[in-house]
Amino acid sequence: MTYLALAAVIANGAACSDDSPPALPDASADNHAADVRDERDSTSPDTPGDTSAPMRHSFRRILLSSEFYCEGATYADFDRDGDTDVATGPRWYEGPAFTAAHELYVPQAFDPKNYSDCFFLFARDIDGDGWVDVLRVGFPGADGSWFKNPGTSGGHWPRHQVVNVVDTESPDFTDITGDGRPELVFASGGRLGWAGPDPLDATQPWIFHPTTPASGFHAFTHGLGVGDVNSDGRADILEATGWWQHPPSLMGDPLWTRHPATFGAGGAQMAAVDIDGDGDADVVATLEAHGYGLAWFEQSAGGFTEHIIAPRVADGSGVAIHEPHALAVVDVDKDGDPDIVTGERFWAHVPAGMPDFAAPAHLYWFELVRSQGAVTFIPHLVDDASGVGTQVTVGDVTADGLVDIVVANKKGAFVFVHELSSGPVDP
């Protein structure tokens, strides 16, 4: 199928996969410009104008569950058998088939017109016993709790509530302090900051270390990320109205220096990566978690310049993504530069009235192409009946060198296995 023919399929609303939960009529088809490639049936060259052997990136859809348990998902080898497994809320699924499921805690399916108790999952060996545990963050403002992998003894995973209130809508669990161990980055009492496990006893409450003065950050603040904006080797904090510079020492919890900037109206996860290849870190963000839009922000001496990747209104000027409430920046095609994975959070807000409420949920990856000093992003459709949750997790789940995508949301829970049908993996 040609590129344009594929685009026509998308513009007319591609059929959903057979194993998908029932989807409402596609009211968003008109919003999808004819420059989207369908990854599920694409034989087009990897790069426009590329005369080398075509490389076809496709994503094989595995439905784990069609019920709504969670809007976050993660992966790790939970049973230490050498195969990577996937966790989506109350269950983990054994890789590589993902058919055998095990409970972390008693499953409770939620009404898709309401919310779950699981917005984010992060897999780490939190207590250092050699078994990978799971940190769960619930509804904005709810608790952060980790579930201890019981290892060979089996059974439900004991829960340890370690943070009572996790504010903001895109907390991250990453090494912000630089000590090699992850911390939860979020807001509390109007301040951004972090809290991490005590290496001696991870079950004790995690102490909050503020990095900003009280600045009005709250449970529903959208847009948050961690990345080294100024390339000094220290992880900074990104939010919609600027970035906060990590000081040389964290002793005594000093306030971090604020650098005002406008990174959209408040999106999802944010990243600091070099998009244009000039050596400095740029910023990637979705523009409005309950609207539309995706952009990268070019860093220069004068600040940041916005470059739209997906429009902030559904005006036909590009692929429109409604409610882009999760983002990941990963080198999907292994060409050495970062690509973007994002999509639509189905029924992010209920009842009706939000953008494209009845539309299906698309999941995309955007391929970064640098050519003669210019940066473009080529949208590729991964799936049209899943989208993202409040989290989209990208990593090599199947251990073949290609990054896969794991999501859970109101459509169910899914693994998208990245496959390359022909041509070299490496450029």
Candidates 52-60, 197-205, 241-249, 284-292; binding stretch for Ca ion (CB under 5 A): 241-249
Question: What's the token pair of residue 343?
Answer: 């999509």
Closest CA to 135 of 182, 85, 189: 182
Stretch of 156-164, 186-194, 280-288, 418-426 contacting Ca ion, by CB under 5 A:
280-288
**Closest CB to Ca ion among residues 125, 315:** 125
Query: Binding of Ca ion at residue 278 (CB under 5 A)?
Result: yes
CA nearest 339: which of 352, 328, 330, 348?
330
**Residues forming beta bridges with residue 124, ordered by sequence position:** 133
Please, what is the minimum distance in Å from the beta carbon of residue 235 to Ca ion?
Answer: 6
Residue choice 59, 69, 93, 131 for contact with Ca ion (CB under 5 A): 131
Residue positions counted in the chain: 427
DSSP, collapsed to helix, strand or coil, labels residue 5 as: helix
User: Using the rule CB under 5 A, is 83 a contact of Ca ion?
Assistant: yes
| List of residues 6+ apart from 251 with CB closer than 8 A | none
Using rule CB under 5 A, residue 81 touches Ca ion: yes
By beta-carbon proximity to Ca ion, the closer residue of 148 and 222 is: 148
- The verdict on 315 binding Ca ion (CB under 5 A) reads no
Residue closer to Ca ion by CB (options 47, 230) is: 230
* Contacts (Cβ under 8 Å, ≥6 apart) of 201: none
Please write down the long-range contacts of 301-305, taking CB distance under 8 Å and 24 or more positions apart: 303/261, 304/261, 304/262, 304/263
Asked whether the beta carbons of 204 and 196 are under 8 A apart, the reply is: no
Report the greatest alpha carbon distance in the chain: 61
**Interface mask toward Ca ion for 59-78; x: CB under 5 A:** ------------------x-
Specify the residue for token string 């619930």. 138
Shortest Cβ 42–Ca ion spacing (Å)? 29
Token pair recorded at residue 336: 């050495």
Burial class (CB in 10 A: 0-12, 13-18, 19+), 379: buried
- HSE, CB side, 13 Å, CA atoms: give it for residue 137: 27
Among 30, 50, 111, 129, binds Ca ion (CB under 5 A): 129
Residue 340 Cβ, how far from Ca ion at the closest point, in Å?
15
Confirm or reject binding of residue 236 to Ca ion (CB under 5 A): yes
The footprint of Ca ion on this chain (CB under 5 A) covers a number of residues equal to 21
* Residues within window 337-366 making contact with Ca ion, judged by CB under 5 A: none
Judged by CB under 5 A, the residue of 46, 239, 276, 356 near Ca ion is 276
Question: Among the candidate windows 29-37, 197-205, 235-243, 417-425, which touches Ca ion by CB under 5 A?
Answer: 235-243
| Residue closer to Ca ion, measured from CB, 218 or 258 | 258
Under the criterion CB under 5 A, does residue 85 sit at the interface with Ca ion? yes
Residue 111 or residue 278: which is nearer to Ca ion going by CB?
278
Does residue 274 belong to the site contacting Ca ion (CB under 5 A)? yes
Considering the rule CB under 5 A, would residue 282 count as an interface residue with Ca ion?
Answer: yes
Q: Name the segment binding Ca ion (CB under 5 A); options: 178-186, 245-253, 289-297, 394-402.
A: 245-253
- Sheet with 404-409, strands from edge to edge, namely 57-65, 412-420, 404-409, 393-395
Minimum Å gap between C-beta 15 and Ca ion is: 33
Exactly one of 26, 71, 133, 239 binds Ca ion (CB under 5 A); that residue is: 133
Residue closer to Ca ion by CB (options 76, 319) is: 76
Percent helix / strand / coil, the chain, rounded to 5: 5, 35, 60
30 binds Ca ion (CB under 5 A): no
Detail the DSSP E strand segments found in 66-141: 74-76, 85-88, 91-93, 101-103, 120-124, 133-137
Q: Site mask, Ca ion, residues 195-234, x = CB under 5 A?
A: ---------------------------------x-x-x-x
Helix (H) or strand (E) holding 11: helix 3-11
Backbone angles phi, psi at 414, to 5 degrees: -145, 150
Query: Which residue, 237 or 361, has its beta carbon nearer to Ca ion?
Result: 237
What are the distances in angstroms from CA 259 to CA 168, 187, 240, 243?
19, 18, 11, 5
CA distances from 68 to 151, 166, 187, 413 (A): 27, 22, 27, 8
Which residue lies nearer to Ca ion by CB, 19 or 125? 125
79 binds Ca ion (CB under 5 A): yes
- Say how many Å lie between the first and final Cα of the chain, rounded: 24
- Is the Cβ of residue 116 or residue 149 nearer to Ca ion in the bound state? 149
Chain positions contacting Ca ion, by CB under 5 A? 77, 79, 81, 83, 85, 125, 127, 129, 131, 133, 228, 230, 232, 234, 236, 246, 274, 276, 278, 280, 282
